[in-house]
Amino acid sequence: MSIMGASARNPHRGPLTAPAPPTKGSTVKLQGKVPTLVVALSLAATGLVFLPSTATASSPRPSARPGAPYAPKIVRLKSSDKKVTVSDTRFRPGVTEFRVTKTAHRGSSVVILKSKDLDKAFKKLGIAFGGGTGSADAMAAFDRLVTIYGGGAQGSRWQVNLTHGTHYYAFDIKTNQLTPIKVKGDRRSAKMQHADSAIWAYQQNDLNQFTTDGKLEGNWVSFENKAHEIHFMEAERVAQGTTARDVRQALKSNKDPKWIRPGGFFFDVQSPGIKTVHYQEVKPGRYLIICFMPSEMQDGVPHALMGMYHLVNAV
């Protein structure tokens, strides 16, 4: 097993492509192909061989804490090779809890996104994944055209605050199927679930970084993107003695590190300014938090190769 640039749930393992304009109640198949994925960018830059992670999404059934103001709108997502089924495609703004009950494939991940011009956005994303000259500018353009509100694999469960809008979609990154969602009406008053642990993406001296509020604990983990670029969060379980130096050496090497351990978890892509809270069973141990999204600053360079990783213990 190795440090990976694309796990079994990585949102960029399948071909992302430009869709035709969706119509009310329709499921739109994206057509065409994008040339190169995040994993290819990583390979080209470092020679690393990234294998799929063994991490799986976990969705136990916790009971709400007494007195907690926890009553979000619950929307269930289910994908197949032909469509993404959404339990409710029209609901009021406010805190919404998405639950991915089933995906078409092991590598599938369902994300919630919003865009008024998907065709242009996915064309830009294709250029960004190509990794050549202009890829960083294309990634920045995609960022401006699309807002992504998180996502996950089968069993994933997360909350996010949605505002009024008619250009939301539930999108399966493996099958390239999407279904429109409308968020309309009076705002609901539900508050987001309190998080036991917090993870942030942020930017310092033009470099993207991860940090946490301490050790990971509890079952509710927040992920907030305070940076200026799109990020996902891959948490790989590693040997207890793993250091930042070990990670740096692995990113420069073409050998698989020996300190990767089974387990881990994954929170899918989020745009700047978006905060999600995930129900996630985190096993005790040490974790490497890492992101391999293409940079908006340097052509063809994933964030991890610019230092976007963080080691943290879970109790």
Sign of the CA dihedral with 14 first, then 20, 21, and 22 last: negative
- Locus of tokens 């063994």: 54
Q: Which one is predicted more confidently, 2 or 249?
A: 249
d(CA 288, CA 21): 39
For the chain, state the CA radius of gyration: 18
| E strand or H helix at 91 | strand 90-91
Task: Report strand pairing: 90-91 vs 207-212.
Answer: unpaired
**3-state SS, residue 145:** helix
Q: Which CATH class is domain 28-60+70-314?
A: mainly beta
Which pLDDT value is given to residue 255?
84
Q: Which residues pair with 312 in a beta bridge?
A: 287
| E strand or H helix at 77 | strand 73-79
d(CA 162, CA 301): 31
**Is the CB of residue 272 less than 8 Å from the CB of residue 189?**
no
What does the pLDDT look like over 161-217, one tens digit per residue?
A: 999 999 999 999 999 999 999 999 999 877 899 999 999 999 998 899 999 999 999
Which pLDDT value is given to residue 206?
84
Amino acid at 235: A
Alpha-helical regions (H) of 164-209 = none
**Is the CB of residue 109 less than 8 Å from the CB of residue 153?**
yes
What does the pLDDT look like over 246-304, one tens digit per residue?
A: 999 999 987 889 999 999 999 999 999 999 999 999 999 999 999 999 999 999 899 99
Does 54 have pLDDT greater than 80? Answer: no
- Locus of tokens 């279904």: 179
* pTM, two decimal places: 0.81
Which pLDDT value is given to residue 70?
58
Alpha-helical regions (H) of 167-262 = 244-252
